[in-house]
Amino acid sequence: MKLKKVLALGMAAMMTLSMVGCGSDGTADAPAADTTQDQAPAADDSADDAAAADSTEAEEPAADDSAEAPADDAAAGGVPGYLDITLGEDYTDLTATIKFLHCRTDREEDGTIADLVAKFNETYPNITVETEGVTDYAEDALLRLSTGDWGDIMLIPAIDTKELSTYFQPLGDLDAMSEQLNFVNAWSYDNVCYGIPMWGNAQGVVYNKAVFEAAGITDLPKTPDEFIADLQLIKDNTDAIPLYTNYAAGWTMGAWDAYMGVVAEGDDTFMNQKFAHTAEPFKDKGDGTGAYALYKILYDAVANGLIEDDYTTTDWEGCKGMINRGEIGTMVLGSWAFSQMVEAGDHGDDIGYMPFPMTVGGTQYVAAGGDYNYGINVNASDDNKTAALVFVKWLVEESGWNVSEGTYATSKNGENPTMYSAFDGCTMLSDLPAIAGEEDLLGEINAESELSFNSGGDAKVQRIVEAAATGSESYDDIMADWTAAWNDAQESLGIEVTY
Amino acid sequence: MTATTRSAKPAGRTFGQWLKSRDGQKVLVMIAFMIIPLALLFTFTYLPFAEMFGFSFYDMKYIGTRKFVGMKNYIKVFQRDDCFGALKLSLYYMAGSVVQLVLALYLATILSFKVKGGSIFKGFMFFPFLVNGIAIGFIFKFFYTRGFVFDTVLQWCGFQLDNLPYWLRDKRINNISLVATSVWRYFGQNMVLFIGAIMSVDSELYEAAMLDGANKFQQFKYIIMPSIKTIITLNVILSITGSLSAFEPPYVITDGANGTGTYFVVMNEIAHTQQKVGLASAMAIVLLLIIFAATILQKLFFKYVFKNAEDEDLNAAAKRDKKLAKLAARKAGR
C-alpha cells in the first residue's frame, strides 16, 4: 500500500513537472528567435584567424545560446574556414561522429552514399558519418531545423538569408571563396558564406534523341516557335508524347520558374535584383522572350494537345522509364534529372540534354546555379564542426559525386560530365545575389503575392495547364492576374517600382 | 466529488490525518489516476491549440520575426475567394456522406438479419477502413488513371474507352471521383457501428413484430430506426464534420490541383508553401467555428426529428397503436 502510494505520488509529480517543463520551453524559444534578427554576423575574419584552428578545443558546451553563437565562434577561431583545410593532410586523425541530413533518398537506398562515406573513411578513418535521407525534404528540413535537433550537416532549406547565422556555421569570406568555387553566393549574408553547393545544375530540356530523329528534327530548337513546331512534328510523325508535363507531381510544374531570369531575360540581375521592382514582369514583349513567352510555351503546348492525354494522373517515377524507352519526346527539367532518365532503362544513350529554346538578342542563355547547399550546424561542438567541414569539402572536391550525377562541379577545377556538349556556344550565367539590404525582398514578395517563384509555387503553373486544357481562362487573363497579384504585393510591402 | 464534500471534515483533524483517512486516500487515488490523462490532454491538445490561437493574430512565418496584426488575418480569410470557395467543395463531400450513411444503414440492416456468409461480407466491407489513407490515395490514383484499373473494368462491362470520361481531369466529375474514394473507405466503418447498435436490439421485438405481421421494412422503420437513433445521430455528425475537413483524397490523389483543393488543402498550401502561418491559423479557427455551428445545427435538427428523446419508446408505441387502430378501422370500413 505504502509503495503504491509513493509510486502514484511520484508519477503525479513527474507529470506535473514535465508539463511545467514543456510550457517554459515553448515560451523561451520565441523571444530567442526574435533577438537574432538584428545580429549581423561579425565573421568576416573567420577565414584568416582559423590558422590557429589545429588545436581544436575539446568539447565546447554543445548547445550554447544560438543567438550569439556564430559571431563568437568564428572570432574564437575554434573551427577553420572552408579554404583553410587542405584535404588529405589536415585533420586526418580527427575523431568525431557526425550526422548528415539530406534529400537524396534514392542515393541512400542504392548505396551510393554509403560508398562515398566508405571512400571518405579511407583518408579519414576516425570520422564516423551517419546519414539520413528525408523524403519530403523541403518541408521536413524546415521543421527539423526549428527544433535544432538534426545533426551536423544539412542541405539548407528555404529560409530567409538573415536567419542563416542563427542556424549555420559561417564558412568564410564570400569573395575569397568565389574565386575557387562556383555558385557559392546562394546562401550568403553580409559577404559571409554559409553554404557550399553540392553541385551546380544547368537549366535546359531533357529530350530523347531517337524520338527527335524519328520526327525528322535535325536542328535543336532555339526559339519558342521552333520548339512548338518541333513538338507538333513529334506528334505527327511518332507515337511519343511530345511534351510530358508531370502535372500531377506538382513540383515538376514549379520547375518552369527556373528559366525566368537568365534564360528568358538574358539578364543575371533580373531574378534577385530587378524582379521584385518590376512593374509588369509578365508583359508580352512580342519577341518571344521574357516570362510571358516562357509560360506561353506551356500554354500553347497544352492548348494544341501536345502533352499527355490525362495530365492529372501523370506519374513521376513512371516518366523516367517512358522517356528512356522513347515514349516521351521532351521534359522541361533541370540537368539533375538527366542521369535519372539515363539510368531508368536500357536506352540511356538516347537521352540528350539541350538548352532551353529561347533566344534573347541572338544569344541562347543558360542558367546554371547551385543545387542544395551543405550547411553546418552552428550549435555543434567544434570537433563536429571541423569534421563536418572536412567531409563537405571532400564531397565537393574529391568525391566525384557530381560526375556520376551528371551535374556541374562546384569546384572551379572540378571535372564535368560530357552531357553538356549541346551547350557549346551558349552563354552560361548564374543569377547574381540580391543587392545588400534586399536579400529577403524576393522571398517576401513571393509569399505576399502567393506566386512563389522558384519556391514551391506549383499551383500557379498548374493553373496554366488547366486553363489551356479546358479553355476556362485565356493566357492573357492569367498573366494579368499575376501582374495584379505582383503589384498588390509590391504596394503592401512598400517596394519601390523602378523597372 | 462527494468524497471531497464529505471530507470537508470534522474540525480538528489535521491535513496529515485527513490524508491518511479513507476519504483522503480516495481523493489521492483519484488525482493520481486523473493527472496522467489530463496532463497528456493538456500538453498535446489544449496547449498547441492555444498556441495556434495566438498565432492567428500574427503575421508570421515558421521562423523569423512575428508582427502582431490583430484581426487582419480573420478579415483576410473572409475576403479571399479561395478560402470560402473551397468550402463549396464540402458540399460534394456532404452529399457523399449521405450516400455513405444510407448505404451503410441498408447493408447493416440486411447483414443483421441472418445472411449466408455475413461475416465475410462484413469483413470485406470493413477492410478499407483499416488501410492507411495515404495508401488509399495512391491506390486510387492508379485506379482512376486513363486506361488503368477502373477503365479496364468498365471496358469489360462493354463501355468504350472513348466514351468514358477522364475521372480526375474533367472538372465536372473529379470531385465526385474523390468523394467516391472517401465513401468507399468509411462506409464499412459506419456499417459496423450500425450493426453493433442493431445487435443490441432485443430480438423478442422482431418476433413479436413478425407475429403481428410486420414485414422487414416495417421492422426496420419501427424497431431498428428508433432503437439506434443515437448512433445514427453520431455517425451523421461525424460524417458532416469529416466532410468539412476533407483532406487526404484531394491531397494525395490530385495534390489539390484542378479545382479539387478543399479547405484543408488550401490551408496546408498557405501554411507550408506560402508560409503564412498566421493566416492559416486563422483559417483553422474559422473552420472550427463553422464545425461548431454545423454540429449545433445538426443537434437541433435531430432533436426535431426524434422528438422527446427520453420517452421515445412510449411515444413510438402510442404512435404504433394509433396507426394500427387506423389500419383496423380502414379494414373494417372496407
- Say whether pLDDT at A61 is over 70: no
B-contacting residues of A 468-487, CB under 8 Å?
Answer: 469-470
**Per-residue model confidence (pLDDT) at position A46:** 39
Other CB atoms closer than 10 Å to residue B17's CB: what's the count? 11
Which member of A12, A312, A452 has the closest CB to residue B258?
A: A312
Which member of A22, A139, A146 has the closest CB to residue B43?
A: A22
Work out the pLDDT band at A60, boundaries 50, 70, 90: very low
Phi and psi for A359 in degrees, rounded to 5? -120, 120
| Highest mean pLDDT: which range of A35-39, A75-79, A262-266, A369-373 | A262-266
Q: Which of A22-36, A206-220, B241-255, B296-310 has the lowest mean pLDDT?
A: A22-36
pLDDT tens digit sequence for A196-210 = 998 888 888 999 999
pLDDT tens digit sequence for B199-248 = 888 888 888 888 888 888 888 888 888 888 888 888 888 888 888 888 98
% of chain A at pLDDT higher than 90: 24
Phi and psi for B132 in degrees, rounded to 5? -60, 140
Closest Cα in chain A, distance from residue B84 (Å)? 17
Does B28 sit within 8 Å of A9, measured CB to CB?
A: yes
Closest Cα in chain A, distance from residue B258 (Å)? 6
**Per-residue model confidence (pLDDT) at position A10:** 62
pLDDT tens digit sequence for A368-381 = 878 889 999 988 88
Does A143 sit within 8 Å of B62, measured CB to CB?
A: yes
CA triplet A49, A54, A59: central angle to 5 degrees? Answer: 100
Distance CA B204, CA B227 (A): 14
Distance CA B52, CA B43 (A): 13
What's the average model confidence in pLDDT over B186-205? Answer: 89
- Say whether pLDDT at A136 is over 90: no
Does B47 sit within 8 Å of A22, measured CB to CB?
A: yes
Burial of B4 from C-beta contacts in 10 A (0-12 / 13-18 / 19+): exposed
- Say whether pLDDT at B285 is over 90: yes
- Say whether pLDDT at B189 is over 50: yes
Match 501582374 to its residue by C-alpha cell. A483
B61 at A interface, C-beta within 8 A: yes
Residue of A nearest to B25 (CA): A5
CA triplet B132, B135, B140: central angle to 5 degrees? Answer: 125
Other CB atoms closer than 10 Å to residue B255's CB: what's the count? 22
Closest Cα in chain A, distance from residue B250 (Å)? 12
Work out the pLDDT band at B43, boundaries 50, 70, 90: very high
B67 at A interface, C-beta within 8 A: no
* Extended strands (E) in chain B: 58-59, 67-68
pLDDT tens digit sequence for A157-196 = 888 878 888 899 999 888 888 888 888 888 888 888 999 9
Closest Cα in chain B, distance from residue A143 (Å)? 8
* Grid cell in block for residue B300: 437541433
- Say whether pLDDT at A335 is over 70: yes
Distance CA A303, CA A380 (A): 53
Distances (CA, A) of A82 to A54, A141, B55, B119: 13, 23, 39, 68
- Say whether pLDDT at B160 is over 70: yes
% of chain B at pLDDT higher than 90: 23
Question: B244 with B291: CB under 8 angstroms?
Answer: yes
Task: Delimit the domains of chain B by residue range.
Answer: 2-55, 86-140+166-323
Distance CA B235, CA B186 (A): 11
**Per-residue model confidence (pLDDT) at position A159:** 83
Work out the pLDDT band at A482, boundaries 50, 70, 90: very high
Determine the angle formed by the axes of helices A458-470 and A475-493, rounding to 10 degrees.
150
Work out the pLDDT band at A33, boundaries 50, 70, 90: very low
Q: Strand A363-370 to strand A427-429: parallel, antiparallel, or no bridges (unpaired)?
A: parallel
Work out the pLDDT band at A11, boundaries 50, 70, 90: low
**Per-residue model confidence (pLDDT) at position B146:** 83
Q: Strand A241-243 to strand A328-331: parallel, antiparallel, or no bridges (unpaired)?
A: parallel
Question: A325 with A347: CB under 8 angstroms?
Answer: yes
- Say whether pLDDT at A16 is over 80: no
Which member of B148, B171, B256 has the closest CB to residue A470?
A: B171
- Say whether pLDDT at B2 is over 70: no
Q: Which of A23-32, A318-327, A425-434 has the lowest mean pLDDT?
A: A23-32
Work out the pLDDT band at B191, boundaries 50, 70, 90: very high
Residue of A nearest to B41 (CA): A19
Work out the pLDDT band at B280, boundaries 50, 70, 90: very high
**Per-residue model confidence (pLDDT) at position B168:** 87
B-contacting residues of A 166-195, CB under 8 Å?
Answer: 166
> Which numeric CATH code is attached to A62-197+372-406?
3.40.190.10
- Say whether pLDDT at A48 is over 60: no
**Per-residue model confidence (pLDDT) at position A4:** 62
Tell me the chain B residues in contact with residue A468 when contact means C-beta distances shorter than 8 Å: none
Work out the pLDDT band at A62, boundaries 50, 70, 90: very low
What's the average model confidence in pLDDT over B292-320? Answer: 73
- Say whether pLDDT at A331 is over 50: yes
Averaged pLDDT score across all residues of chain A: 81
Distance CA A482, CA A492 (A): 15
- Say whether pLDDT at A37 is over 50: no
B230 at A interface, C-beta within 8 A: no
* Extended strands (E) in A385-452: 427-429
Distance CA A51, CA A79 (A): 9
- Say whether pLDDT at A460 is over 50: yes
pLDDT tens digit sequence for A93-126 = 888 899 999 888 888 888 889 999 999 998 898 8
What's the average model confidence in pLDDT over A316-331? Answer: 90
A12 at B interface, C-beta within 8 A: yes
Helices and strands per DSSP (H, E), number in chain B? 18, 2
Of residues A361 and A427, more confidently modeled:
A361
pLDDT tens digit sequence for A400-424 = 888 888 787 888 777 777 777 777 7
Question: B255 with B143: CB under 8 angstroms?
Answer: no
Which three-class secondary structure state does DSSP give residue A264? helix
Q: Strand A427-429 to strand A373-376: parallel, antiparallel, or no bridges (unpaired)?
A: unpaired
Averaged pLDDT score across all residues of chain B: 85
- CATH architecture for the domain at B86-140+166-323: Orthogonal Bundle (1.10)
Q: Strand A328-331 to strand A351-355: parallel, antiparallel, or no bridges (unpaired)?
A: unpaired
Write the DSSP assignment of A460-484 as a string of letters. HHHHHHHHHHH-SS-HHHHHHHHHH
- Say whether pLDDT at A70 is over 60: no
pLDDT tens digit sequence for A243-275 = 999 888 888 888 899 898 888 888 888 888 889
* Grid cell in block for residue A115: 560508398
% of chain A at pLDDT higher than 70: 85
Phi and psi for A172 in degrees, rounded to 5? 150, 180
**Per-residue model confidence (pLDDT) at position A479:** 93
A-contacting residues of B 172-201, CB under 8 Å?
Answer: 174
Distances (CA, A) of B118 to B109, B123, B183, B220, B228: 11, 9, 21, 18, 20
Distance CA B217, CA A422 (A): 76
- Say whether pLDDT at A302 is over 90: yes
Burial of A349 from C-beta contacts in 10 A (0-12 / 13-18 / 19+): exposed
Mutate to test the interface with A, among B167, B255, B266 (most CBs of A within 10 A): B255
**Per-residue model confidence (pLDDT) at position B314:** 59
How many Cβ pairs closer than 8 A exist between chain A and B?
A: 107
Question: A193 with A173: CB under 8 angstroms?
Answer: yes
Distance CA A281, CA A445 (A): 13
B-contacting residues of A 298-357, CB under 8 Å?
Answer: 309-313, 315
Which member of A313, A447, A455 has the closest CB to residue B146?
A: A313
Question: A466 with B258: CB under 8 angstroms?
Answer: yes
Closest Cα in chain A, distance from residue B181 (Å)? 16
B-contacting residues of A 390-409, CB under 8 Å?
Answer: none
pLDDT tens digit sequence for A211-242 = 999 999 888 899 999 999 999 999 999 999 99
- CATH architecture for the domain at A202-369+433-493: 3-Layer(aba) Sandwich (3.40)
What's the average model confidence in pLDDT over A353-372? Answer: 87
Distance CA B281, CA B66 (A): 14
Tell which residue, A96, A80, A81, has the closest CA to residue A129: A96
Which member of A8, A247, A456 has the closest CB to residue B29?
A: A8
B169 at A interface, C-beta within 8 A: yes
- Say whether pLDDT at A63 is over 50: no
B80 at A interface, C-beta within 8 A: no
**Per-residue model confidence (pLDDT) at position B221:** 85
* Single-letter code of the amino acid located at A309: D
A165 at B interface, C-beta within 8 A: no
pLDDT tens digit sequence for A177-187 = 888 888 888 88
B32 at A interface, C-beta within 8 A: yes
B37 at A interface, C-beta within 8 A: no
pLDDT tens digit sequence for B108-142 = 988 888 788 888 988 888 998 898 888 998 889 88
Segments of chain A assigned to CATH 3.40.190.10? 62-197+372-406, 202-369+433-493
Work out the pLDDT band at B308, boundaries 50, 70, 90: low
**Per-residue model confidence (pLDDT) at position A25:** 40
Tell me the chain A residues in contact with residue B276 when contact means C-beta distances shorter than 8 Å: 447
Phi and psi for A375 in degrees, rounded to 5? -125, 150
**Per-residue model confidence (pLDDT) at position A32:** 38
